[in-house]
Amino acid sequence: MIALLLRDLRLAIRAGGGFGLGLAFFLIVVVLVPFGVGPETALLSRIAPGILWVASLLAALLSLDRIFALDYEDGSLALLATSPLPLEGAALMKALAHWVTTGLPLTLVAPALGFLLSLAPEAYAYLLISLLIGTPALSMIGTFGAALTVGLRRGGLLLSLLVLPLYVPTLIFGAEAVRRGAEGLDPTGALMLMAGITAGSFALLPFATAAVLRINLR
Amino acid sequence: MSMWEYANPKKFMGWTRPVLPWTFAIAGLCLVIGLIWGFFFTPDDFRQGSTVKIIYLHVPSALMAINAWIMMLVASLIWVVRRHHVSALAARAAAPVGVVFTLIALFTGGIWGQPMWGTYWAWDPRLTSFLILFLFYLGYIALWEAIEDPDTAADLTSVLCMVGSVFAILSRYAVLFWNQGLHQGASLSLDKEENVADVFWYPLLVCIAGFVLLFVALVLMRTRTEIRARRIRALEARARRA
């Protein structure tokens, strides 16, 4: 399992594009927002938690179809399915690799972009924590979506249609935690609920993902 | 002789043929009686005036929008466990009907909301969760359309329906956390304390019966169409081979 994780990480970093693309997209979305809504600091700092969360969600979405597509095309997914490693474990590792290459860098970069949107100073810690807890759920749910659409030729657009509604609870709790942090309220409730979603996704979705992969490889 | 016998496609076609016109007829009768009774023979509400009468469309369609998804979930589970093709086709047939009910609920709600709340749309938990339900329906239908092999499509959409159900419930409670509501509470719970007054209640029950039967009739008809379409495809495949 560790070997699979390392292989995916190496592929993501060396193949170029996949690794930096999500980050660059995140940066561009955050930079574009002030052009759209105007440069007023008060307005920007009010909408900053939501913008940062929506932008990181879209950046995570961008790289989802790469999770299984390449392995499916060159046949290594079929090899994975017949290997002694249970497919559920492979799905879990794929999600983890996706998180390490997109969710983790996004989390680390987000506070820097918070400056651009003049996020309230109290909110930085909560932004970091909420992204750290929430982005693994985005990766796991996205891995399930990628497994659903792996065999399809025009799967990319369909993937976003399937995955975005599934992202709703994570987004609500994530942005709400940062907003409460920015306003000086107690964000623990939102953070706990989001941690629950992440834990639940990681406990259950690998099974759904593996079932779907078996159907698609049939 | 078990109930699963009726899920055999040939048997299904056999028993639905006589049942279908009756279901349509009773559904139509219920809707005509319920709507005319509701629209013309109930008093205007004390505060809401005549706008209250949209309840006869809004509540039953909202109810059926959720029940259609539950029916799809049950049909998907039956397909996954017992692999009855009719079950998968019924789930597929129910989805567009559910979408239309969701849209009716959203539109009638907006039409009622404009004079009553002063807005067609508010980000209220109930309204928002219906919009999310609508998105789930769209994704489900799109996945059915995108996959060519019918058995693969049935399998994948069943899994999507199950995972989607969990997330739909999560979203339902997440939006409660996110925003406090404008929408009133349940008008139709079984303990009669908080229900609407009896004058509105009886025609509403007739309307709900009408909507349920209409849903059953539409799903049966669409399932019959799907079975016929699949038979035609099988015949064409055989003709090409011959």
Q: Give A166's Cβ-side CA count (13 Å radius).
A: 29
pLDDT of residue B52: 73
Residue B131 in contact with residue B120, Cβ under 8 Å?
Answer: no
- Min Cα distance B136 → chain A (Å) is 6
Which residue in chain A is spatially nearest to B171 when comparing CA positions? A169
Q: Which of A148, A204, A212 to mutate to test the interface with B (most CBs of B within 10 A)?
A: A148
3-state SS class at A61 = helix
Interface contact A212, partner B, CB < 8 A = yes
pLDDT score at A134: 92
pLDDT in tens, B140-199: 999 998 888 888 889 999 999 999 998 888 887 887 777 666 666 555 555 555 556 666
Comparing A16-30, A186-200, B11-25, the range with the smallest average pLDDT is A16-30
Burial environment of residue A87 by CB neighbours within 10 A (0 to 12, 13 to 18, 19 or more): buried
Burial (0-12, 13-18, 19+ Cβ within 10 Å), A40: exposed
Using the beta-carbon criterion (under 8 Å), do B143 and A164 form an inter-chain contact? no
**Do A198 and A133 touch, CB atoms closer than 8 A?**
yes
Size of interface A-B (CB pairs under 8 A): 75
8 Å CB contact between A158 and A149: yes
CA separation for the pair A87, B229 (Å, rounded): 36
Predicted confidence at residue A15, as pLDDT, reads 65
pLDDT the model gives residue A54: 92
Q: What is the ipTM of this complex?
A: 0.84
Helices A123-148 and B150-178 pack at an angle, to 10 degrees, of 160
Which residue type does A187 have? P
Are the beta carbons of B125 and B183 closer than 8 angstroms? yes
The Cα of A7 is separated from the nearest Cα of chain B by a number of Å equal to 28
Of A42-56, B2-16, B207-221, the least confident: B2-16
Residue B49: phi and psi, rounded to 5, are 65, -145
The two structure tokens encoding residue A48: 């900053």
Q: For B43, left (φ over 0), alpha (ψ -120 to 50), or beta?
A: beta
Mean pLDDT value of segment B134-140: 92
Q: Is the pLDDT of residue B122 over 90?
A: no
Mapping DSSP to helix (H, G, I), strand (E, B) and coil, where does residue B45 land? strand
Looking at the complex, does the CB of residue A39 fall below 8 Å from at least one CB of chain B? Answer: no
Lowest mean pLDDT among A85-89, B7-11, B44-48: B44-48
Q: Is B143 on the interface with A (CB under 8 A)?
A: yes
Identify the pLDDT of residue A143.
93
pLDDT of residue A3: 78
Q: What is the pTM of this model?
A: 0.86
Q: Which of residues 161-200 of A touch B (CB under 8 A)?
A: 161-162, 164-166, 168-169, 172-173, 176, 189-190, 193, 197
Of A165, A208, A215, the CB nearest to B136: A165
- What ranges do the domains of chain B cover? 19-241
Is the model's pLDDT at B10 over the cut of 60? yes
Tokens 């961008």 belong to: A62
Nearest to B100 by CA among B218, B209, B19, B227: B218
| Separation between Cα atoms, residue A2 and residue A8, nearest integer Å | 10
Q: Which of A87-96, B33-42, B129-138, B153-162 has the lowest mean pLDDT?
A: B33-42
Where helices occur in B41-124 by DSSP H, the ranges are: 55-82, 85-117
The pLDDT value recorded for residue B182 is 61
Mean pLDDT score, A22-50: 87
pLDDT digits (tens, 9 = 90+) for B64-117: 999 999 999 999 999 989 888 888 999 999 999 999 999 999 998 888 888 877
